[in-house]
Chains A and B, each alone.
Chain A
Amino acid sequence: MEGFLFQAFVYLCAAVIAVPIAKRLGLGSVLGYLIAGILIGPVIGLVGSETRELQHFAEFGVVMMLFLVGLELEPRMLWEMRARLLGLGGLQVGITTTLIGIAASLLGVQWSIALAIGLIFSLSSTAIVLQTLNEKGLTKTEGGRASFSVLLFQDIAVIPMLALIPLLALPELAGSGLVESAHDAAALGGEPNAQHGTSLVEGLPGWGYALVVLGAVAFVVLGGHFLCRPMFRYIAGSRLREIFTASALLLVIGIALLMTLVDLSPALGTFLAGVVLANSEFRHELESDIEPFKGLLLGLFFITVGAGIDFGVLFADFGKVLGLTLGVMALKGIVLFALARLFRLAPGDDWLFTLGLAQAGEFGFVLLSFSIQNSVVPPDLSKILALVVALSMMLTPAFFIIYEKLILPRRGGGDEKQADAIDEKGTVVIAGIGRYGQIVNRLLVASDVSTVVLDHEAAMIETLRKIGIKSYFGDATRPDLLHAAGIESAKLFVIAIDDRERAVQLVEHVRRHYPQVKILARAFDVNHLYLLKQAGVDFAVRETFDAALGLGAEALKALGHHPFRVEKMTQAFRLHDEEGLEQMYELWDENPDFSRNRALLARAREHGASLKEAMTSDRLQLHDRTERGWTPPPKGYNNELREEDPAGL
């Protein structure tokens, strides 16, 4: 227990210190984690061999990340990117493997080893790249999308690679495989032929295996579509926050388990599940539940990469390692840039794509361990190769900085325009979709505004979805959910929830953290209106005022007043009332918690007494107002005009 606490303390401490500093310095969080790892590992030596164990565990962060990526990607979008996925991804992996393989044999390595090396280095780091793209807001750019297509293809390609590697085994190495790495592949890539771990498909004939695989994928897709939603609905009904989180974790882990059982990539499985659930009402809730786990695990993963660097080997062979690293990255970069050109990525995007994917990645580690274990790559060479993978990953954040500082500023105006167009559409996040929020939402949607609707009433969401209103389950007062719903990039935030206090808290929260977002809120009454105002709302209306005024107007008409005069009266009444509200607000300085406060009560009594007076003066003031417009000139005004000579100018 003590050991565990100490370790956790060390890792957390390193992260908490290094990451914010790295972020401040504009280096990005990934580099921060890596540096933290180097500090506690090779430099200070606080952690040692257990980092390898931890790394396998932390690699699960990648699985979670792909689930989250899937959630962002509706099936339609996945279908639209199929050409990129197969073409761009396939070519990248194929060409890079070949070129690096050739280069390795030129350096005098045996062909089977060279091929394994080619495979290892053809992969890039999904963890670093997606995390960094996300952090820098580059996910939605052309370059970001193309990078994602390639990464996804690579993640899928790991599976056949794992099947291929054992065939490359060298007889002279057989038997010396390192036991330590025996289950390396289990964490990420599935483990064909692995010594331990259970596999349901061992010993099945080819067609049987194909059937099982198809069955598993079908189970994920259909299960995600038909089983998950009722299950989440049921759990949401229990209103237990942590049980929802638990079930989200259960889903991800369950699918990962299923995939490993049938020798498929868990990352692929959870990605598919994510895509299937992307259209569901639980999307944002799932996102915000899984996000922290993913973040921590990935952070841990990066730390272990840093901590795992073998400085002994590094300094012994520094020139060699550095040369190889730069060589590999250059080769990968050339292939990437050529492909970017071939697929007509815009200037700027091609550089993002090239610089972003030039490193080797975590799957490279997996393949490497797997190769050692299958007697494909000799252990000495593997130490150097591992360093090359790690070093190339360490260099990636620097490449992103180069992209940001040198390439991005020179990009043409074309992209700016694009950004503007998105900006103009501007999403509106609506919290609360009861009777009030529904009307607001209907008006906005009818006017072609894209809205994201949140409500904590799962049953309500279900009915709304049935009539075609896109809405999501979740408590809008939770910061992480607002974040998942995209509050940062929203133009407006509409608060229509039926909980007074929480509405005020929401205003405070959004005002403080997203000052650029305009906040519009429903107020229950004057006091609530003032509280919202105090919290910094941009615009609030009393929910009953307009409706009551409308009914009052009908009453006047029913009493025989001329409809247009009634219209004038109501307008004047409204203006007068709004002015009164403004003036009263200046006097109003009470905190809502002091509603039992004597001073406040006294003031309320005073106010009540002045009410009658106000009513009579109301009539006079309103009279002035309504009589102001269309006042006919005085009876004798023609005589005046005749005497004058206004045209004499």
Chain B
Amino acid sequence: MKSRNDLLNTEMPESPASRATFHRKILILFAHPSVERSEAGQPLAQAAARTEGITLVDLYAEYPTFIIDVDREQDRLLAHDVVVFLHPLYWYSTPAILKEWQDLVLEHDFAYGSKGTALHGKIFFSAITAGGTETAYCDKGYNHFSIRQLLHPLEQMAMLCGMVYLPPFALFGARTALEEGRIDAHVADWVQVLRALRDNRLDIEAARELPKLNFKLNSILREG
């Protein structure tokens, strides 16, 4: 029986008819190994699940034993125009299952290589929550590198697969965001960005250069 994560309780609007009307179809691969304790990532996932035209996949729920169905995942990639990794930042990278997902799904001759053109032209970015503060993520801070620098492996992954890379949509200081009342505003921005991408109201070229996707939202969002 397929396990389902009740904490997310996602009603995915998977009917192709409802999505056909949108400019871009968005696939969010959500990876959080202890979602029941999550304060930042879970509301983001739930908000995405409630947004029309978006497919949210809870990887830990679908593959609790890490046995990833490569064919299914590749089909999903083919069926969408935007791929998002939604996850907490763990050791400056993704939780393990997303790494496993990359290792298994992004096969030679599918994602890269002379015949590997399946992902060409799709948009990729990560949506992360990070425990560290924003100020710590610079060469003078204790993390020494900016978040864009630290995520270079993902950026290069996207490039090798011929995808358009956008900077991460990031929440810093995630462990205190709830107490400081920052979650709601962040979730609202998140939904705005997803809708704009879906409806082609996001200035891709302008967004590519930003330090993070939610840097100055007004400068990249167009009226719809």
Q: Footprint of B on A, CB under 8 Å?
A: 538-539, 571, 575, 628-631, 633-634, 637, 640-641, 643-644, 646-647, 649
Contacts and interface: CB of A to CB of B under 8 A. Distances in A.
A649 B113 contact: no
B169 to A, nearest CB: 21
16 contacts: A571-B65, A571-B67, A629-B70, A630-B103, A634-B108, A634-B113, A637-B113, A640-B113, A641-B113, A641-B160, A643-B114, A646-B120, A646-B161, A647-B159, A649-B121, A649-B162
A644 to B, nearest CB: 7
B70 A628 contact: yes
Nearest to A575: B67
A646 B104 contact: no
Contacts of B65: 571
Contact of B120 (A631, A637, A649): A649
B164 interface: yes
Contact of B114 (A575, A630, A644): A644
B30 to A, nearest CB: 22
B107 interface: yes
Contacts of B113: 633-634, 637, 640-641
A325 B62 CA distance: 64
Nearest to B121: A649
A325 to B, nearest CB: 51
Given A630-B103, A633-B108, A649-B120, A640 B114 contact: yes
Nearest to B105: A629
A575 B120 CA distance: 32
Interface string B158-180: 01111010000000000000000
Nearest to A646: B162
B1 interface: yes
B112 interface: yes
Contacts of A571: 65, 67
Contact of A649 (B67, B103, B107, B164): B164
Given A631-B107, A640-B113, A538 B1 contact: yes
B159 A646 contact: yes
Contacts of A649: 120-121, 162, 164
Nearest to B162: A646
Interface in B89-147: 103-104, 107-108, 112-114, 120-121
B1 A539 contact: yes
A468 B160 CA distance: 59
A137 B109 CA distance: 61
Given A646-B161, A646-B162, A649-B121, A637 B108 contact: yes
Given A575-B67, A629-B103, A646-B112, 11 more contacts: A629-B70, A630-B104, A633-B108, A634-B108, A634-B113, A637-B113, A640-B113, A646-B159, A646-B160, A647-B159, A649-B162
B120 A629 contact: no
Interface of B: 1, 65, 67, 70, 103-104, 107-108, 112-114, 120-121, 159-162, 164
A540 to B, nearest CB: 10
B156 to A, nearest CB: 10
A649 B161 CA distance: 11
A518 to B, nearest CB: 9
Contacts of B70: 628-629
B89 to A, nearest CB: 25
Contacts of B1: 538-539
Contacts of B67: 571, 575
Nearest to A628: B70
Nearest to B100: A629
Given A646-B120, A646-B159, A629 B104 contact: yes
A641 B156 CA distance: 13
A636 to B, nearest CB: 10
A207 to B, nearest CB: 62
Contacts of A637: 108, 113
Q: Which of A628, A643, A649 has the most chain B CB within a 10 Å cutoff?
A: A649
Contacts of A643: 114
A164 to B, nearest CB: 58
A177 to B, nearest CB: 67
| Closest A-B pairs by Cβ, 4 of them | A646-B162, A633-B108, A640-B114, A539-B1
A463 B164 CA distance: 65
A641 to B, nearest CB: 7
B1 to A, nearest CB: 5
A643 B113 CA distance: 10
Contacts of B161: 646
B104 A641 contact: no
A518 B168 CA distance: 42
Contacts of A646: 112, 120, 159-162
Contacts of A633: 108, 112-113
A258 B2 CA distance: 58
Contacts of A628: 70
Contacts of B104: 629-630
A563 to B, nearest CB: 15
Nearest to A540: B1
Contacts of A629: 70, 103-104
A649 B108 CA distance: 20
A641 B112 CA distance: 8
Contacts of A539: 1
Nearest to A644: B114
A634 B103 CA distance: 15
Interface hub of B65, B67, B159, B164 (most chain A Cβ within 10 A): B67
Nearest to B164: A649
Contacts of A647: 159, 162
A649 B159 CA distance: 9
A33 to B, nearest CB: 43
B4 to A, nearest CB: 12
The interface centre, meaning the residue of A629, A631, A641 with most chain B CB atoms within 10 A of its CB, is: A629
A424 to B, nearest CB: 8
Contacts of A575: 67
A638 to B, nearest CB: 10
Contacts of A634: 108, 113
A630 B101 CA distance: 10
A631 B103 CA distance: 9
A637 B160 CA distance: 13
A649 B208 CA distance: 12
A448 to B, nearest CB: 12
A28 B119 CA distance: 63
